[in-house]
Structure 1
Amino acid sequence: MLNIVFCGTPDFSVPPLAGLVAAGHHIQAVFTQPDKPKGRGQQVQKTPVKIEAEKHGIPVHQPANLKDPETIELLQQLNPDLMVVVAYGLIIPQNILDIPRHGCWNIHASLLPKWRGAAPIHRAILAGDETTGVAIMHMEAGLDTGPVYHMYPTDIRPDDTGQSLHDRLSHMGAEAIISCVAELESGQLPEAQTQDHDQATYAHKLKKTESRIDWNLPAIEIERQIRAFNPWPGTQAVIQGETFKLWHAHVVSSTSTADPGTLVEASKKRLVVQCGEAQLSILDLQKAGKKRMPVGAFMAAKQDWYTV
């Protein structure tokens, strides 16, 4: 049984933490970002990892950064065999990476060196990648540049959203870290392989400004945008002068010469918009301040839009 320090913050980090506990490893401490106010009421909320750690009675630490002497001294006193880092959100300096006997391992949601950085799940969908996965990486000071022990691929399905792929990779990450730790304990863990840095791509952090739909783009790119940004940050589209959040759509082949953004078909069950290439049939949408609606229910109240 290994002594492990776990670092993570959001929902993505919870299955790996729960999995390590269930596998019988001693989680000495959990490090997670400080609690922050959220929602309309701006009430301070615990991080998902803190909630999970408290279920198991694991000590929780929430430093604003990992550079203060008290945090470094604490980790030195814990003297862990291994540190596991999953979407922690804070930079880990080299003097801390050097503390655990077996180093610090990161569960990264891509097949490295592709999509290093903050938003690998969303960027993979946006790019139209057919596969992605998780990598178990030995951390070093660079951004996701460390050598990799194992990679576990999965197909990106045509209906995958940012949320569905997030959830699948999170559970894959839990299985992967449990497997790699077992190999470490049994002496079967292979030597970590250096990444091909020339093949690296970067998954830059998402910005809310990216949520705006540009109808001049090909329909296939807009459809990927809708899936990738579901549920956050969502996609904002202007149709007939009104702004909507689009949740689900599919591409329609067309030889139409209508201008991008034109409503080319509107009926009881269909809402189709011209794009720079092809068209987009909208299946679920949401008006600001209203509930998400399937297109049939929405169009029942929009008969003045009907084109056929």
Structure 2
Amino acid sequence: MAAQTLRVGFAGTPEFAAKHLQALLQHGFDVPLVLTQPDRPAGRGKKLMPSPTKIVAEAANIPVWQPTSLKDDPIQKNLADQNLDVLVVVAYGMLLPQAVLDIPRYGCLNVHASLLPRWRGAAPVQRAVEAGDTETGVCIMQMEAGLDTGPVLAVQTCPITSRTTAGSLFSELETLGAKTLITTLQDLKNLQGQAEPQDHDKSTYAHKIVKAEAFIDFSQSALTVDRKIRAFYPFPGAFTSANNERLRILEAAVLDDTSQSEHPAGTILEADGKGIQVQCGAGILSLTQVQLPGGKALAVKDVLNSNKNPFAVGAILGRPLA
């Protein structure tokens, strides 16, 4: 692959960001440094673990910086000394002050996983699925001091179907985002001159995911519950209660999105190898893959055949845990 002329700094942390860094390296861009979050404790032993972006950078022998803030003069001076043409930011997880935004020759670009101005903020992929959006995509945005408010240089769209999960959508968007980033950098000056300002009146905010909101409330409609399950898969994972135990719901399907019933919301109406039919506030949801406490993900038919089956017809799911 022919070398590119731009000198590109990179700031990112999770796997989504690491895929974009890999694309830059595969296309021959000069990446003199990588910024990523400090190593975090993970696993049962709480051992400090590097971010996926750090792993990619170190494998390519790129210097990795892990500051706790970008507000300090020394880090800003060190960045200025790198003579960057542009700084690419992908899910970095740290605010960039104006002094940093002003350092690279062509400023800082952000790869954002939504169709801005819709879903600014921390969790655009999950919130798009949860809201029932039928389309999302990636934007390459010129960064400003405001949160995801800058003009957009490039947009690529991606459909959201009735079976799309946050996990599957992340996979699609990281591929789409990497391709869009490369084509944007290859025509950067021209695209910056044509950048489209956002309509701030149409903005929506994608709040950070809180684990507690993944508890399933069956008094909501079957359609709403299904979207939540898909939005929170694989993280943090939708869950409910059965026999006063926590039960993860990995996969479900809407059987009926309007019917009402005299049964309380959460009541198990039927249980067979095809699924666990649960009455919702409106409609019926079929649970097809679950995970019992301390167990692994199982198809419902396997749970029904086990001695830990919590799905008796008439039982009610979703009661508060004692």
| Superposed displacement of residue 98, structure 1 | 0.3
Q: Is 1:292 matched up with 2:294? A: no
Moved more, 135-144 or 234-243: 234-243
Q: Which moves more between the two structures, 122-131 or 254-263?
A: 254-263
Deviation at 1:87, TM superposition (A): 0.3
Structure 2 CA distance for aligned equivalents of residues 44 and 120 of structure 1? 28
Q: Which residue is 1:116 aligned to?
A: 120
Contact 1:37 1:44 survives alignment (8 Å): yes
The CA deviation at 1:189 is 5.4
Give the secondary-structure state (helix, strand or coil) at the position aligned to 1:27. coil
Q: C-alpha displacement at 1:62, in angstroms?
A: 0.4
143, 159, 163: which is aligned to 2:167? 163
Distance 1:41 1:198, change over 3 A: same
Aligned residue identity for 1:294? A
Residue 261 of structure 2 corresponds to: 256
CA distance in 2, matches of 1:304, 1:64: 48
Report the equivalent of 1:281.
Answer: 286
Give the match for residue 231 of structure 1. 234
Distance 2:25 2:192 in 1: 20
Does residue 213 in structure 1 map to residue 187 in structure 2? no
1:287: Cα distance to partner?
1.0
Q: CA deviation at 1:53?
A: 0.5
Matched position secondary structure for 1:95: helix
- How is 1:110-149 mapped onto 2 (pairs within 5 angstroms)? 110-149=114-153
Distance 2:261 2:156 in 1: 43
Query: How many angstroms apart in 2 are the aligned matches of 1:274 and 1:285?
Result: 17
In the alignment, does 2:98 pair up with 1:91? no
Equivalent-residue separation in structure 2 for 1:96 and 1:267 (angstroms): 58
2:32 is matched with which residue? 28
Q: Tell me if the contact between 1:2 and 1:25 (Cα under 8 Å) persists in the aligned partners.
A: yes
User: How many residues are matched?
Assistant: 306
Q: TM-score, normalised by structure 2?
A: 0.92
Give the aligned CA root-mean-square deviation in angstroms.
Answer: 1.5
Look up the SS of the partner of 2:48 in the other structure.
strand
For residues 199-255 of structure 1, the C-alpha deviation after alignment (integer angstroms, 9 at most, x for no partner) is: 000000000111111010000110011111001111111235443100000011245
CA–CA distance in 2 between the matches of 1:231 and 1:16? 21
Whether contact under 8 Å (2:304, 2:311) holds in the other structure is no
One-letter code aligned to 1:76:
A
Letter of the structure 2 residue corresponding to residue 262 of structure 1: T
How far apart are the structure 2 equivalents of 1:276 and 1:190? 51
Partner of 2:318: none
1:305 aligns with 2:309: no
Amino acid at match of 1:300: N
Identical-residue share of aligned pairs (%): 44
Matched residue SS, 2:182: helix
Amino acid at match of 1:209: A
Provide the secondary structure at the position in 1 that maps to 2:187: helix
Contact 1:239 1:261 in 2 (8 A): no
Correspondence 1:38 to 2:35: no
User: How far apart are 1:257 and its partner, in Å?
Assistant: 2.9
Structure 2 unmatched ranges of 5 or more: 315-322
Equivalent residues of 2:80, 2:103 under 8 A apart? yes
Aligned AA (2:232)? F
Cα 1:304–1:12, aligned 2, differ >3 Å: closer, same or farther?
A: closer
Secondary structure at the counterpart of residue 266 of structure 2: coil
Query: Residues of 2 paired with 1:188 and 1:122: CA distance?
Result: 29
Q: Is residue 265 of structure 1 aligned with residue 267 of structure 2?
A: no
Confirm or deny that 1:200 pairs with 2:199.
no
| Secondary structure at the counterpart of residue 28 of structure 1 | coil
Name the structure 1 match of 2:319: none
Is 2:252–2:286's contact at 8 Å kept on the other side of the alignment? yes
Query: Are the equivalent residues in 2 in contact too, given 1:115–1:123 (CA < 8 A)?
Result: yes
Contact 2:271 2:311 in 1 (8 A): no
Q: How many angstroms does 1:188 deviate by?
A: 5.9
In structure 1, the residue corresponding to 2:295 is in which secondary structure? coil
Aligned counterpart, 2:155: 151
1:55 aligns with 2:62: no
Could you tell me how far apart the structure 2 residues matched to 1:263 and 1:303 are?
10
- Name the aligned partner's letter for residue 105 of structure 1: L
